[in-house]
A and B are shown apart, each in its own frame.
Chain A
Amino acid sequence: MDRGIDLSDASDAAVVVAIGRWREDALAEAYRRHAGAVFALAQRLIHDRAMAEEIVQEVFVRLWDAPDRFDPARGSLRSFLLAQCHGRSVDLIRSEESRRAREDREHMQRAEAGYDLEHEVFDLAMAEQVRDALGDLPEGERRAIELAYLGGHTYREVAALLGEPEGTVKSRIRAGLRRMRSSLAAAGVGGTA
């Protein structure tokens, strides 16, 4: 009798269906596919390996406990997991005010100094088309997106870091994301429809 689906060739949606049937091998498959990216994002945001691992664990245990929260019609599993990772990481950052203040100073220095080595290494892990799309953005949009998403800052903090009006930062982040989406779609990357 057919007891399940072949996970190695299964879509992410089918893997999550199998997780819904309490198949641990399905969760392991989701982990194999996406945990590296989830961990990299958490570590990038909180600069703490042990805490990043805790967040990865939390994200995948939550997927195990409530797989129905993922709706394949509303985006990819990777973006779903990364959004949870990002939200949890940011919560953690913002709950530690002293840490926040320290990182603000660090990021201010980076914003002033321009490119930092850590960022460069992170960039190298990106797909070429994504790196190109980010690189093609106007500098103000690129910097605002990086500070918000990869730095975990609120847009008000980003505005302070860059010395720009808050309204400008809001607009630049939205415009930059839309511009990236268009250029990635033109390059056939992302399946962002």
Chain B
Amino acid sequence: MAETYTHAEVEELLGVYALDALDGAEAAEVEAHLATCPRCAAEVLEHREVAALLAHSGSPAPDGLWGRISDSLSVPPPVIDFDRASLARADIDSRPTGRRGWAVRAGALGLVAAAVLIGILGVRVRDLDRQIDQIDATDLAVKQALADPGADVVKLTSADGTVGGKVVISSAGPDFLVASDLPALADDRTYQLWGVVEGNVISLGVLGNQPDVVSFETSGRVSTFALTDEVAGGVVVSTQAPVATATLDS
């Protein structure tokens, strides 16, 4: 709708707008203005805070109502939007991640060749650049994993904080590496994901030079994740310092 009210005219309406005391046409005029005027938008929010105090009540809600609400909730929904996923991640991302102590583990990476258990743990990696439908399916799956109340999200972090990526650990089903913010490597290089399971360093997958979202499954509990930059095709044992790491809370 084209905005026809002046700023001053809208200002006069902010109080009644905040109290839902405008009719539809005038409310639409105010809304059009609010979309472009942060000062007026802030004033409406202030009025609503005051109005909320007018509605103050110490009374509890009626008995039985919560039960009906609980019964009507969708848990979990088949699809969630990215905003919701972002909201959920914001909390988890604030938790400490495992940068400390990786130097010790990095050394271990080169020392435990005999303990590499690729296959034994049933590791399965899918490069989602291959098929669009697979990408869609994985996007949906990772969204569902992010919505899972039992899932955990840990952030992979480089020493200087410039390299990221997130590992989504599901309570059931595959886990995911969300690596869309990793810088692309040269064509003859690849990222490789590693996990430390009971002191053993396991390759969790060769991800390609520009990974997006990758799913993987392990039968053991990973205590630390690490990403390394390797020659294309990947390596059995890494001698590289990791580009990013994450340690799970025990």
Is B219 close to A, CB under 8 A? no
Stretch of A100-108, A110-118, A125-133 that contacts chain B: A125-133
Interface of A, helix, strand, loop or mixed by DSSP:
helix
- Chain A: interface residue count, which band? 35 or more
* Nearest-CB residue, chain A, relative to B60: A36
Number of B residues, CB within 8 Å of A:
60
**Contact partner of B57 among A37, A75, A169, CB < 8 A?**
A37
Is A184 close to B, CB under 8 A? yes
Is B91 close to A, CB under 8 A? yes
Q: Given A155-B16, A170-B15, are A127 and B53 neighbors across the interface (CB < 8 Å)?
A: yes
**Contact partner of A177 among B15, B66, B90, B248, CB < 8 A?**
B15
A154 to B76, CA, bound (A): 40
A153 to B151, CA, bound (A): 47
Let me know if A28 and B66 touch, CB within 8 A.
yes
A72 to B155, CA, bound (A): 24
Let me know if B57 and A184 touch, CB within 8 A.
no
> What sequence of 0s and 1s flags, for each residue 33-45 of chain A, a beta carbon within 8 Å of any chain B beta carbon?
0011111110010
Residues in B neighbouring A152, C-beta threshold 8 A: 20
* Nearest-CB residue, chain B, relative to A75: B45
Which of A22, A67, A87, A145 has its CB near the most chain B CB atoms (within 10 A)? A22
Using A2-B95, A86-B20 as known contacts, list a sample of 17 further A-B pairs with CB atoms less than 8 Å apart, ordered by residue number in A: A1-B152, A35-B65, A37-B59, A49-B62, A56-B69, A64-B73, A76-B49, A82-B55, A130-B54, A149-B19, A150-B54, A170-B16, A174-B47, A178-B15, A181-B46, A181-B50, A190-B53
